[in-house]
Amino acid sequence: MTKLTPEEITKQEAEQVSKLMTIGVVVDVDPDTADEMGAFEETALSAEDAEEARFDNKEELTNGEV
């Protein structure tokens, strides 16, 4: 019997859970399996985007006097 890697196990779990996708069925999954299934979408700003946006509302805060 071949030993599966953690990634292979997670992929198999995701495949098994997707077979249970019936309306009304609640299935608990661990975070790694949920991530493999695409349940989480990264929406955080990158450090560069945050840096660029830090003065976006400076005019509002100073009543237009920059």
Query: Does residue 13 belong to any structural domain of this protein?
Result: yes
**What count of other Cβ atoms lies within 10 Å of the Cβ of residue 14?**
18
Domain that holds residue 11: 6-61
Look at residue 45 and tell me if it is in a domain.
yes
- pLDDT, residue 62, reads 63
pTM for the predicted model, two decimal places: 0.40
Farthest CA pair distance, the chain: 72
- 44 belongs to a structural domain: yes
pLDDT band per the 50, 70, 90 thresholds, residue 66: low
Q: Give the whole-angstrom CA distance, residue 56 versus residue 60.
A: 9
Number of domain units in the chain: 1
pLDDT per residue as tens digits for the range 45-64: 888 988 888 776 766 656 65
Is 35 contained in some domain? yes
pLDDT surpassing 70 at residue 25:
yes
Are 4 and 12 within 8 A, CB to CB? Answer: yes
> Mean pLDDT, the chain, as a whole number?
79
66 in any annotated domain: no
For residues 29 and 13, the answer to whether their CB atoms sit within 8 Å is: yes
Query: Of 60 and 13, which is predicted with more confidence?
Result: 13
Whole-number Å distance between alpha carbons of 11 and 3 = 14
